[in-house]
Chain A
């Protein structure tokens, strides 16, 4: 199975900051990478698909980038509602696998 690693398990930032969350794969995944947001109440939402495409209804302050084995999610101008845990997910090969998550908190 492809292992997805989010080395930063928690991150503290201030409102208005630019935040970058990283994710690496154990092998190349050809940009087949999605990002999800899980709010403290457990609700999960898709943010980004295929590395950099914004899902419908997601604010433009979210963006994604990367290639090969290394990917990132950037939130520009952090807002209070962005407090959540963020997960990457590869879909290059079955089984689909997720990173361990990065919990974003307000400083």
Chain B
């Protein structure tokens, strides 16, 4: 079965960067788009972007260009998202989610990674 296991919670300083991971199992990692979604405390969901591990192709929400960088390592079936120049506005839970029947249908979700930006 499809499983997405995300890395643990992070406490990071303002101005720094953080890289969170999403290890996939149970399917052909290279063949499906992986999406990333942000959820601030008590707020709704916001799509950050997606990556196709097979060739590294990406699509970003313009709001997150320069903030988020998506990569994927086919050898370990792991997707990564690096967030840079962190501020309190970046404190949130970040989810990875694999496409389903369409590239924009987020059929399988990770458990989420909490990133807290604080001095």
* B46 cross-chain contacts in A, Cβ below 8 A: 98
Q: Which residues from chain A contact B9 at a C-beta distance below 8 Å?
A: none
Chain B 43-75 interface mask (CB, 8 Å, partner A; 1/0)? 011110100000000011111000000000000
Task: Classify chain B: how many residues form its interface, as a range.
Answer: 20 to 34
Contact B100 A99 (CB under 8 A): no
Q: Is the CB of A49 within 8 A of B44?
A: no
Q: Which size bracket describes the interface of A in this complex? A: 20 to 34
- Taking CB atoms and an 8 Å cut-off, the chain B residues in 70-115 that contact chain A are 93, 95, 97, 100-102, 104-109, 111-112
Tally A-B pairs: CB < 8 A. 64
- Residue numbers of B with Cβ under 8 A of A are 44-47, 49, 59-63, 93, 95, 97, 100-102, 104-109, 111-112
Residue of A50, A53, A87, A91 contacting most chain B CB atoms (<10 Å) = A91
